[in-house]
Copies of this chain bind each other. A is one copy, B any other.
């Protein structure tokens, strides 16, 4: 079996320096790896990597062509609805594109989405069901049948 963890999320981007600058404006602090081709941010345990779209495709052994919906989103959860509004406004001020303004959603939460310079989707969410724990993470209910 595989260990249940995600060590790294790599986003393929057109211009690493441009994307790095965007994420730094959001407040993320890049690690000290000295490279113009790749950037890493420690996202509370999981690493966010920025890498060229073409070399990422090459690394995975697939073609780099593709467009439209990527069927992936990354979420940051916050403590309140007001924090969600503030975060989306801030992301927009940093150059993020608001693609879904925050609104009440059917599962009881409040969320909206922005896109990074390459269209990667970030959700900013308030979730009243699963609150944030002391590590800034979400605590899920235990598996069914577990003691």
Contacts and interface: CB of A to CB of B under 8 A. Distances in A.
Interface in A61-120: 61-78, 87, 90-91, 99-100, 105, 111, 113, 118, 120
Given A6-B43, A32-B140, 11 more contacts: A5-B43, A5-B45, A6-B9, A7-B136, A10-B123, A11-B72, A12-B72, A30-B144, A33-B140, A59-B100, A64-B69
Given A75-B7, A142-B31, A137 B69 contact: no
Contacts of A65: 68-69
B12 A137 contact: no
Nearest to A64: B69
Given A5-B136, A64-B69, A143 B31 contact: yes
